Amino acid sequence: MKIINLSPLVAMLILMSVSSCKKDEPKDPVIPNEEEVITTLHYTLTPNNGGAPVKLTFQDLDGDGGNPPTISKGVLDANTTYLGSLELLNEIESPAKSLTKEIEEEADEHQFFFNTTVKDLSISYADKDANSKPIGLVTSLSTKGRATGKITIILKHEPNKNASGVSDGIIDNAGGETDIEVSFDIEVR
């Protein structure tokens, strides 16, 4: 009689021992399609008066974490004006996918900011979104005398583009989330 009463317990024991025999492993997880990741930023500076363009590149092929990124250095000529153009790539995807277009399509929600510690180097916006606010995919960079320092390029998502100073490239009141913040060592000679 008692054995019958204990039948749920017995059934459970059997179930437990059965389940412990086979190896209970998760299926292979689906590796997500990381289409949003920005791995690479190219800042190509083409001298207005002709000559070889200078390409500044930040590249982190496995995204955040993993291996450290590679960052190039830039050598610019003194007293020169360059046309700067930015290109963003996702190189985890194969073939590499350009993300520049995503920024162009949502130009009113994005803005690049350029900060520099190089003496007498200035960068100004040369493009506009639908609201006549700057984006920063195209810029004009001009140098004067010899100097060294850094250029930092910041991409803000959903900044307040109407806040004071923001359309002049002053980041202080912009808010928003930083999607990109990279620095390059620059030498002007």
Partner 1 sequence: MLVARQILRSVLILRSGRFTVFCFLSFFLSSVSYSQDCNSTIAGFIKDESSGESIPYANVFLKELQKGAISDSLGFFRLESVCPGKYHISISHVGCETKELFLGFTKDTTIEVWLDHNSQLLNDVSIIGQRKKSTTQDRQSLNSDLITQNSNRNLATMLENMTGVSTINNGSGISKPVVHGLYGNRLTILNNGVAQSGQQWGVDHSPEIDPLVANRITVVKGVGALEYQGNSLGSVILVEPKKIRSEPHLHGGTRYFFESNGLGNGINLELQQHHKIIAWRVVGTLKKSGDNNTPDYYLRNTGNEEANVALQLEKLWNKKWFSDLYLSSFNAELGVLRGSHIGNLTDLEEAFTRDVPFYTEDEFSYSIDAPYQKVNHHLLKFHTRYNLSKSHWIDFTYSGQYNLRKEFDVRRSGRSDAPALSLEQFTNFLEGKYTNHLANDLELKTGIQYNRVDNANLPETGVIPLIPDYISNEYGVFGLVTKRIKKVSIEFGGRYDYEQRNVATISNRVPRTIVRHQNDYHNISGVLGFSYDFLKSWNLSYNIGYAARNPEVNELYSKGLHQGVSGIEEGDPNLAQENSLKNTLSLKGKVKGRLFFESLVYYQEINNYIFLNPQDEFRLTIRGAFPVFKYEQTDARLVGFDMAATYKVTEAIEVIGKYSYLHGYDKGNMIPLVYMPANNLYGELNYRLPKWGKFRNVEFQLNYKYVFEQKNLLPSQDFVPAPKAYDLVGAKISIERQWSKLGLKLFIRGENLLNNRYRDYLNRQRYFADDLGFNVIVGINMSF
Distances, alpha carbon 63 to alpha carbons 77, 88, 89, 95, in Å: 33, 13, 11, 16
41 lines the binding site for partner 1 (CB under 8 A): yes
The upper half-sphere exposure of residue 14, i.e. CA atoms within 13 Å in the direction of its Cβ, equals 6
Among 3, 14, 24, 164, binds partner 1 (CB under 8 A): 24
By the rule CB under 8 A, 32 interacts with partner 1: yes
Tallying the residues shown for the chain, one arrives at 189
In sequence order, what are the residues at sequence separation of 6 or more whose Cβ sits closer than 8 angstroms to the Cβ of residue 42?
Answer: 55, 56, 57, 86, 87, 89
DSSP-assigned beta bridge partners for residue 140: 83, 124
Burial letters for 98-118: b for 16+ Cβ neighbours within 10 Å, e otherwise? Answer: ebbeebeeebeebbbbbebeb
- Please report whether residue 64 would count as binding partner 1 according to CB under 8 A: yes
62 binds partner 1 (CB under 8 A): yes
By CB under 8 A, residue 184 contacts partner 1: no
* Options 79, 98, 131, 160; binder of partner 1; rule CB under 8 A: 160
At closest approach, how far in Å is the CB of 108 from partner 1? 13
Phi, psi of 135 (to 5 degrees): -110, -55
The smaller minimum CB distance to partner 1, of residues 100 and 140, is found at 100
Choice between 142 and 152, CB closer to partner 1: 152
- Residue whose CB is less far from partner 1, 105 or 187: 105
Longest pairwise C-alpha distance within the chain: 101
Q: Which of residues 111-140 bind partner 1 (CB under 8 A)?
A: none
Instruction: List residues binding partner 1 (CB under 8 A).
Output: 2, 5-6, 8-9, 12-13, 15-16, 19-20, 23-36, 38-39, 41, 58, 60-69, 92, 99, 102-103, 105-106, 156-158, 160, 175-182
